[in-house]
């Protein structure tokens, strides 16, 4: 897989990566000093040089990311490699959390990180996806290529719908094997779990995906998520015997501040979304 | 239930920091709830009518010397029982009093200007409408007013001073309050005077009835005659007792004299009859007398001889010797006659004397005896008369004693009637109203401070209630604390990453 990544990397990207690496090396040394000591020297040798991730440094609450990242990383060390992130309908939050965790993992260790989402072209992934390089993975046949979006060799994005199409392709006649194979491509996979109602509507379709979840975390949006919704999600996934790792709280500030995307357009969209989620006071009274 | 547990605290019952968080969270409710409460309070305050209050205080002087009627009553021994505070308070609540006041009000020239609307009533009572409804029926008007006015006044005891009371009049009109206060004061005083007068009149009437009934009991007995006779008998007893006293000394004196005369008479008689002198003794007495005379003469002779001669001659001596011898012999003879010669002589003399006095003694005795018998008879007659008078006096005493209670009772009742009549003519009220009264005070039924306090309390309560309801009905998760409390079985990993 590392060879595959290497192939995907263009020369321009390598130059850009080097520049970033020079700029941020000192910060990495300061913030991740302790963790770096635990990092295996073998992996460094293997990659030749340490990759850097500008998204990690864009995180304003480093300590929080370190905290949750450490928790997930300890699970990873314990043998868990498939982490699902879900919420009560806040896809952007899920994506941001996945990006943060992927960045943390990417910094911790040179590993293959896969992000699978059914909303690659919206939300937080949307802008990043523009910077990725698309690669067609024809392992399942030339007629059914799987598009893999590689982001500077840090992590790769795969559209969940594409995977599901291949799974449900009768010509391939592979179902779980498709997912097994994809799982084997990466050391860690972050699942951007679709909204619950989508899964409930088409549970047969999503079942093989759910079965791949080894651990699921629920994002609770401050002052927006309802307890009943969280309970429903909890009950649903516990019903499949999936380990419920815990809850991630997304503060209101995060919603407003995190809506500072890379482009002005995205910002406007996020503002609209926040406004939509905000209920007028007079409605609050009679709610 | 978990939500309720979140808001509760082990020590302070309510988790105040969390509640404060809720207040900030539901800011709209937190602002609106107090505003609603304050608006309601302001509306309630402003929608109230102005109430006009006038208070008049009076003192009930039941035993005080300041009350003239009480003073007279105490002088004549008429002790007033006095009214209890409840009885005084009951005066104003009685129907009679209300009717009396209503009558005065209806007769008032400005009756139509009064506003009899009770302060607690929401509907205004129009006096002209009320009067017009009754037409010319005076009783109807009085009844209409009588029913409504007790809501306008009240009597209360003073909390600090004993026997002091307050009459408070509250109405929705200044004129009504002032006029009704004056009328109430007058009617209270009048009512009290009438009550006292009525009581005294009843006592006089009762006294007269008692006097009449007692006099009927004494119809068969002329108490005046008995009393006159009693006086007369007493006087006679006194007179005769004095007479007896005086006569008594004279009687005893006479009796003593008579006894003495009787004794003298008897003794003389006995002496003469019993003590007769012996002839021999008389002879002996005569001899002794002769011998004594002889001795005396011899001694005189001897002395004469001795004195006549300076020196005695032999003859003289012989004569003297012979005389001495003769003297000696005579003395011996006298000695032989014995020593009772003198008593016989006295007896003889005594008997002679008594014999001569015996006739006088007898006469005197007989005279005294006759006189004493007469005195004794008179004395006895006086004693008998006195005894008879005393017996009559005792009888009269018994009669008087028998009818004395009734007689005294009548006497006392007659005195009482005079006293009561005096009291009746001098009765004044024992309710002493203060001359100076406070001005009419205007206020709202519920004061501003009470409304404010109520509004603040209601605000807090409403705030608490609404926020609690809102919180319980709000299913959303707001912070880590709530998240932890709501999903105690789950781990809170942390906050989602926040990108710059």
At residue A178, the pLDDT reads 82
More confident position, B246 or B345: B246
pLDDT on residue A267: 42
Q: Which residue has the higher pLDDT, B353 or A79?
A: A79
Least confident of B209-213, B343-347, B437-441: B343-347
- Quick check: B499 and A258 CB within 8 A? yes
Domain ranges for chain B: 1-48+446-500, 225-417
Residue A40's contacts (CB-CB under 8 Å, 6 or more residues apart) are: A109
Interface-testing mutation among A76, A88, A128, A222, with chain B (most B C-beta atoms within 10 A): A222
DSSP for B328-380? Answer: HHHHHHHHHH-STHHHHHHHHHHHHHHHHHHHHHHHHHHHHHHHHHHHHHHHH
User: Under DSSP, is residue A135 helix (H, G, I), strand (E, B) or coil?
Assistant: strand
Q: Is the sign of the CA dihedral B471, B475, B480, B482 positive or negative?
A: positive
**Section B375-381 average pLDDT:** 88
Whole-number Cα distances in Å, B246 to B252, B369, B386: 11, 21, 14
**Cα nearest neighbour of B474 on chain A:** A226
- Which residues in chain A show pLDDT less than 50? 1-50, 254-268, 270, 285, 287
Q: Is B498 within 8 Å of A61 when comparing Cβ atoms?
A: yes
What's the rounded mean pLDDT across residues B316-332?
A: 86
Closest CA to B38 of B452, B448, B460: B452
The chain A residue lying nearest B486, using CA atoms, is A227
pLDDT-derived band of residue B498, with 50, 70 and 90 as boundaries? confident
Q: B483 and chain A: CB distance < 8 Å anywhere?
A: yes
Q: Pairing mode, if any, of strands A133-137 and B8-9?
A: unpaired
- Interface check for B492 against chain A (CB to CB < 8 A): the answer is yes
Residue B52 has pLDDT above 90, yes or no: yes
Residues of B within 8 A of A72 (CB-CB) are 493
What are the residues facing B166 on neighbouring strands?
B57, B156
ipTM: 0.71
Whether residue B61 contacts residue B430, with contact meaning beta carbons closer than 8 Å, is answered with: yes
Residues of B in contact with A224 (CB under 8 A): 476
Set of chain A residues whose Cβ sits within 8 Å of the Cβ of B29:
285
Q: What is the pTM of this model?
A: 0.52
* A253–B499 CB contact, under 8 Å: no
Q: Residue B318 — very low, low, confident or very high, per pLDDT cuts 50/70/90? A: confident
CB B74 within 8 A of CB B191: no
A59 CB neighbours in chain B (<8 A) are 497-500
pLDDT tens for residues B158-215?
989 888 999 999 999 899 999 999 999 999 999 888 888 888 899 889 888 888 888 8
Residue B404 in this model has a pLDDT that exceeds 70: yes
Partners of residue A227 in chain B, C-beta under 8 Å: 475-477, 486
* pLDDT recorded at residue B339: 60
Reading the block at residue B301, the tokens are 């002779």
Task: Report the C-alpha gap between A97 and B498 in whole angstroms.
Answer: 8
Contact flag A249-B487 (C-beta cutoff 8 Å): no
Quick check: A234 and B490 CB within 8 A?
Answer: yes
Residue B498: list chain A partners with CB under 8 A: 59-61, 64, 96, 251, 253-254, 257-258
Handedness of CA B243, B246, B252, B253 (dihedral sign): negative
Q: Which structural domains are found in chain A, ordered by start?
A: 2-26+42-286 (3.40.50.300)
* Minimum distance, in Å, between the CA of residue B456 and any CA atom of chain A: 22
Centre a 10 Å sphere on the Cβ of residue B185 and count the other Cβ atoms it contains: 18
Give the model confidence (pLDDT) of B268-311 as tens digits: 878 777 666 566 777 777 788 888 898 899 888 888 888 876 66
Q: Looking at per-residue confidence, does B423 or B237 come out higher?
A: B237
What is the reported pLDDT for A7?
A: 32
Please name the residues in contact with A223: beta carbons below 8 A apart, sequence gap of 6 or more.
A252, B25, B476, B477, B478
Q: Is there a contact between B500 and A60 if contact means CB atoms under 8 Å apart? A: yes
Please say whether the beta carbons of B166 and B156 come within 8 A: yes
- Average pLDDT value for chain B: 84
pLDDT computed for residue B250 by the predictor: 85
């Amino acid at each position: 897989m590392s060879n595959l990544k290497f192939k995907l990397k263009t020369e321009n990207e390598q130059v850009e990566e080097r520049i970033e690496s020079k700029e941020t090396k000192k910060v990495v040394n300061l913030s991740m000093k302790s963790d770096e000591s635990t990092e295996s020297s073998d992996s460094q040798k293997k990659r030749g040089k340490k990759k850097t991730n500008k998204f990690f440094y864009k995180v304003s609450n480093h300590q929080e990311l370190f905290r949750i990242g450490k928790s997930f990383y300890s699970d990873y060390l314990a043998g868990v490699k498939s982490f699902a992130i879900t919420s009560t309908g806040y896809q952007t939050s899920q994506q941001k959390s996945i990006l943060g965790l992927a960045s943390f993992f990417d910094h911790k260790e040179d590993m293959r990180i896969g992000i699978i989402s059914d909303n690659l072209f919206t939300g937080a992934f949307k802008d990043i996806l523009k910077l990725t390089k698309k690669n067609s993975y024809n392992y399942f046949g030339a007629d059914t290529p799987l598009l893999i979006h590689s982001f500077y060799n840090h992590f790769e994005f795969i559209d969940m719908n594409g995977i599901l199409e291949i799974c449900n392709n009768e010509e391939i006649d592979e179902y779980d094997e498709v997912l097994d194979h994809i799982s084997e491509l990466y050391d860690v996979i972050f699942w951007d779990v679709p909204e619950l109602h989508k899964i409930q509507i088409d549970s047969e379709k999503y079942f093989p995906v759910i079965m791949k979840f080894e651990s699921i975390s629920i994002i609770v949006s401050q002052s927006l998520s309802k307890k009943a919704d969280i309970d429903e999600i909890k009950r649903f996934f516990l019903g499949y015997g999936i380990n419920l790792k815990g809850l991630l709280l997304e503060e209101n500030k995060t919603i407003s501040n995190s809506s500072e995307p890379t482009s002005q357009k995205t910002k406007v969209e996020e503002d609209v979304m926040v406004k939509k989620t905000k209920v007028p006071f007079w409605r609050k009274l009679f709610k | 239930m978990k939500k309720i547990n979140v808001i509760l605290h082990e020590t302070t019952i309510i988790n105040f920091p969390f509640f404060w968080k809720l207040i900030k969270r539901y800011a709209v409710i937190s602002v609106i709830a107090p505003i609603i409460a304050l608006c309601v309070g302001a509306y309630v305050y402003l929608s109230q009518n102005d109430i006009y209050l006038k208070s008049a205080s009076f003192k009930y002087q039941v035993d005080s010397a300041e009350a003239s009627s009480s003073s007279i009553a105490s002088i004549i021994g008429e002790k007033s029982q006095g009214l209890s505070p409840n009885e005084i308070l009951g005066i104003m609540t009685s129907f009679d009093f209300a009717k009396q006041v209503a009558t005065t009000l209806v007769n008032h020239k400005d009756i139509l200007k009064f506003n009899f609307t009770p302060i607690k009533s929401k509907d205004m009572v129009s006096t002209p409408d009320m009067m017009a409804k009754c037409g010319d029926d005076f009783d109807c008007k009085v009844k209409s007013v009588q029913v409504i006015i007790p809501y306008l006044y009240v009597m209360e005891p003073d909390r600090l001073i004993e026997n002091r009371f307050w009459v408070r009049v509250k109405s929705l009109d200044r004129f009504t309050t002032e006029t009704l206060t004056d009328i109430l004061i007058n009617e209270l005083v009048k009512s009290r005077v009438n009550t006292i007068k009525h009581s005294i009149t009843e006592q006089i009437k009762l006294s007269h009835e008692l006097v009449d009934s007692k006099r009927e009991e004494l119809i068969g007995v002329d108490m005046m005659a008995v009393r006159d006779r009693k006086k007369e008998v007493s006087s006679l007893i006194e007179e005769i007792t004095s007479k007896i006293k005086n006569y008594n000394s004279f009687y005893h004196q006479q009796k003593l004299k008579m006894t003495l005369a009787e004794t003298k008479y008897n003794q003389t008689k006995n002496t003469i009859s019993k003590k007769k002198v012996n002839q021999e003794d008389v002879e002996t007495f005569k001899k002794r007398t002769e011998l004594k005379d002889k001795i005396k003469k011899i001694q005189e002779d001897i002395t004469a001889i001795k004195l006549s001669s300076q020196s005695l001659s032999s003859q003289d001596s012989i004569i003297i010797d012979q005389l001495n011898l003769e003297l000696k012999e005579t003395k011996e003879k006298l000695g032989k006659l014995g020593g009772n010669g003198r008593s016989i002589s006295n007896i003889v003399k005594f008997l002679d004397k008594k014999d001569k006095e015996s006739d006088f003694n007898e006469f005197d005795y007989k005279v005294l005896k006759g006189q004493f018998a007469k005195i004794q008879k008179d004395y006895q007659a006086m004693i008998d008369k006195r005894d008879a008078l005393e017996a009559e006096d005792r009888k009269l005493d018994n009669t008087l004693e028998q009818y004395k209670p009734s007689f005294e009772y009548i006497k006392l009742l007659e005195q009482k009637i005079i006293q009561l009549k005096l009291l009746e003519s001098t009765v004044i009220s024992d309710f002493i109203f203060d001359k100076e009264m406070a001005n009419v005070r205007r206020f709202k039924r519920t004061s501003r401070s009470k409304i404010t306090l109520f509004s603040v309390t209601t605000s807090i309560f409403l705030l608490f209630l609404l926020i609690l309801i809102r919180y319980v009905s709000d299913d959303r998760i707001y912070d880590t604390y709530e998240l932890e409390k709501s999903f105690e079985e789950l781990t809170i990993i942390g906050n989602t990453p926040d990108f710059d």
